[in-house]
Amino acid sequence: MNTEDAKQFITNLREKEFHISKDNELIQRSGLKDKALKNSLKNLSEDLNSNTIHFIFELIQNAEDNNYNGVGPSLIFRLVENDPTHTKGSDGAIIVTNNEAGFLEKNIKSICGGASTKKL
C-alpha cells in the first residue's frame, strides 16, 4: 500500500468507524464503537501498567512482531530534550524507530477494534 492509499484508508476508517472528521471533530457520538474502545482501554491499562518498565518490553515486543520484508530488523531508542509533539507539560520524549515494512489494513483494523494480529 502506498502512502496516499494508507492516508486515505485511515481517513475513511476514522470517519466511518469512529465518526471523527479530518479536523478531529466528533461527527456523531452515538456511532462510536463503545465495545472496541473499552477493549482497547482495558488492554492498554492491563498490559502497560502492570510494571513500571513494562512499556519498554512492550516496545521491543512490538518490534519483534513486525514484518521486515526480508531485511534484518533494526530498533533504535532515542531520548530527546524537546517533545516533537509539543505535548503540554512534557519534559522531553523517547523516540522509538525501526525499519519495519509498515502496517497493513488488517493491523490497523485490529488495533482499532481492541484486538491483536500479533504472531503467537
Residue 20 lies in a domain: no
Report yes or no on 21 lying in a domain: no
Interacting residues of 44 by C-beta distance below 8 A, sequence separation 6+:
none
Question: Sorting pLDDT into bands at 50, 70 and 90, what band is 27?
Answer: low
How many distinct structural domains can be found in the chain?
Answer: 1
Asked, for residue 27, whether it belongs to a domain, the answer is: no
Which residues form the domain of 71? 53-120
pLDDT above 50: residue 51: yes
Q: What pLDDT score was predicted for residue 35? A: 67
Amino acid at 106: K
Average pLDDT over residues 82-95: 85
In this prediction, residues 46-72 reach a mean pLDDT of 80
Most confident residue range from 20-24, 26-30, 90-94? 90-94
Task: Give me the chain's average pLDDT, please.
Answer: 77
Asked if 76 and 98 count as a contact pair (C-beta separation under 8 A), the reply is yes
Answer whether residue 86 is part of any domain: yes
Please report whether residue 104 resides in a domain. Answer: yes
30 lies in some domain: no
Query: What average pLDDT does this structure show over 5-20?
Result: 81
Distance separating alpha carbons of residues 44 and 74, to the nearest angstrom:
25
Whether residue 18 is predicted with pLDDT greater than 80 in this model: the reply is no
